[in-house]
Structure 1
């Protein structure tokens, strides 16, 4: 195994943090770039870099001459449900990578963390299972611009891009995570004496879905960066299975010790805001770590996850043929993550 001197851009995020952990577990050296300080005990050298400022990128890259691999998991600031700026996201990548490439003569690879919005799965029904060479969705998307830019470079290093579906993990204090949203929703419904009902429509309940554990995704990303077979390509990465919320919901209900109710067809953003006092009561009743309601569940995000009335499925054959064979059962992923939140006294 070639030892990497890795730079993770966006190291404070769910995916960026998972990449850091995976790299360290495999014995690599890690430098993390983020707007905020990293909350971790891992041996990560932190660099604060404004990736929208070319001069700051060049100044900070001066101390990164040892970098051999870059993992780009950065995102320009944007509101939940808002359009992500193509211009800003492209500028961030260009500014950072140009500066690092100039400062690090031993650079070997740059990986881009993208997603299945590449195929337009957020817009409506699309071709499934989605394959990496499928036509792009007919709307602006910074994934397209970033990949076009990096693939056109005449440089001695290679690149790769990963396209996961929804990604979940253990992210205390970050409410944009379906795991903590589901656990909080279940706790509130139980406290109110209500069944555990799917918030979306009957149609959404029966559509095919998939996801990726952030740790599983990180393993795939680190594999891409070190595998010659993965150079200069994009890969779909999922847990490896597909499911319907109808049947997964029964397992969730059993885990939380609740009765599963019928689909409600409601907006959690509209109906759950009033239950902050209920959450505060649950925290006190169960002796949980005091977590503000806004930090445990981002209800608009749950509405987004449960809204599609079409199948969301990616073909992962390309990655398997190239050498990445690991899979994970999504049901077990949810249970393991629920257990982590419970062990941390964040949910009852």
Structure 2
């Protein structure tokens, strides 16, 4: 039976891969969970191994001396504000780690490396992409584009595979829904905290993001579904899987206009009958409480425009924006909001640091984009993947998990 190694074992995606591997002791009798620290108990077939992925290959090799995996799941990354620095750091982490496996001799046993990246592949952080997004879309490497560390990592992965004799799979998840123990840096935690504090304050559940995006479409990835895909991709022998990259999203396409009332109902909240003012609908955001951030002047779609009859189209190639009717960073720093959280956290025995550590800027970005994000699952389907997840169910289940983690109060309380 094969052994597995997971880097980034405490992150929202890596943690779930470890959990999925840990469920089947017959199939996966030995699982190495690598991270800088251990945050929770693991099943008996999972062994925690300390590692610093920013160390040199030689230093990592010392930590990996007795680790001999058949399959490697690389789900670690280090966030950096500067894209150039992110490319340098995350590229070096992957390259040094793979070199460390060569130094110990473990790479001779490795059959496949599965690398987790994301929909930044398509420039979703830069403006409106080409929809639907497909794995065959060319990389955005024009001189006026910022570096993309996913491109760098994939170049390293392909080169090391040829050098060391194993093959690879890359995953592109988007807007991940899930929970990581002791890690509040995720979409679900921030959204749940926004709802819980709104209820504590007795306020209506106002959509804080872009009025445009409220009715537009997004594609989400449940961390548990992504983990199942990783295990399927590791063992699938089809040539349609070997040395291939795949979108990994739930398989439905959702709008917040559909999910926001459902989130409100889960928390016992009411949404306004008229969510936006006429000014907000026209893109005129009150910057006292909200904010507007322009993205790149040339959105990613512009690189596909001429071949689709959209060259120089002012309508379709307009500069994208991140609009927040309620700027969530400003909101989280208001005294009445902090007081409401303090009261709620003390009364319900919640993890008090969760509110301060929540990624309000990230949630504001995800909800504030003013364009669709539609990601195709056709390639994975044609390769034999049949997994599916209802997005609201994944959000609801993750919020239930946050109740168990003492991040959110019990529903109905």
TM-score, structure 1 normalization: 0.93
Q: Shift of residue 295 of structure 1? A: 5.3
> Structure 1 residue 205 and structure 2 residue 203: aligned?
no
Distance across 2 between alignment mates of 1:23 and 1:73: 14
Distance across 2 between alignment mates of 1:88 and 1:82: 10
Distance across 2 between alignment mates of 1:196 and 1:323: 41
1:124-166 deviation line (CA, Å, top 9, x unaligned)? 0111111101011243111111111221342321111000111
**Which of 319, 327, 339 is 1:267 aligned to?**
327
**Which of 235, 242, 263 is 1:252 aligned to?**
263
Aligned length: 343
Distance across 2 between alignment mates of 1:191 and 1:218: 35
> Structure 1 residue 187 and structure 2 residue 196: aligned?
yes
Distance across 2 between alignment mates of 1:137 and 1:40: 41
User: Are the counterparts in 1 of residues 9 and 75 from structure 2 also a CA contact under 8 Å?
Assistant: yes
Larger Rg: 2
**Which of 117, 120, 126 is 2:120 aligned to?**
117
User: Are the counterparts in 2 of residues 33 and 48 from structure 1 also a CA contact under 8 Å?
Assistant: yes
User: Are the counterparts in 2 of residues 279 and 293 from structure 1 also a CA contact under 8 Å?
Assistant: no
Distance across 2 between alignment mates of 1:6 and 1:125: 38
Residue aligning to 2:342: 280
Matched residue SS, 1:6: strand
**Which of 39, 52, 64 is 1:50 aligned to?**
52
Q: Shift of residue 201 of structure 1? A: 2.0
1:224-273 deviation line (CA, Å, top 9, x unaligned)? 11112211000001011111111211111111111113157121011222
Q: Shift of residue 119 of structure 1? A: 0.6
Q: Shift of residue 101 of structure 1? A: 3.5
Q: CA RMSD in A?
A: 1.9
* Alignment CA distance shift 1:294-1:84 (3 Å): farther
Distance across 2 between alignment mates of 1:54 and 1:237: 30
**Which of 71, 74, 86 is 2:73 aligned to?**
71
Distance across 1 between alignment mates of 2:180 and 2:78: 20
User: Are the counterparts in 2 of residues 184 and 296 from structure 1 also a CA contact under 8 Å?
Assistant: no
TM-score, structure 2 normalization: 0.79
Distance across 2 between alignment mates of 1:77 and 1:182: 20
Distance across 1 between alignment mates of 2:39 and 2:266: 32
**Which of 130, 150, 158 is 1:143 aligned to?**
150
Distance across 2 between alignment mates of 1:205 and 1:293: 26
Matched residue SS, 1:326: coil
Matched residue SS, 1:234: strand
Residue aligning to 1:316: 377
* Alignment CA distance shift 1:298-1:150 (3 Å): closer
Distance across 2 between alignment mates of 1:205 and 1:7: 40
Matched residue SS, 2:165: coil
Q: Shift of residue 23 of structure 1? A: 1.1
Residue aligning to 2:94: 93
Q: Shift of residue 296 of structure 1? A: 6.0
Matched residue SS, 2:13: helix
Residue aligning to 2:389: 328
Q: Shift of residue 83 of structure 1? A: 6.4
Distance across 2 between alignment mates of 1:99 and 1:124: 37
Distance across 2 between alignment mates of 1:178 and 1:106: 37
User: Are the counterparts in 2 of residues 288 and 346 from structure 1 also a CA contact under 8 Å?
Assistant: no
Distance across 2 between alignment mates of 1:10 and 1:167: 15
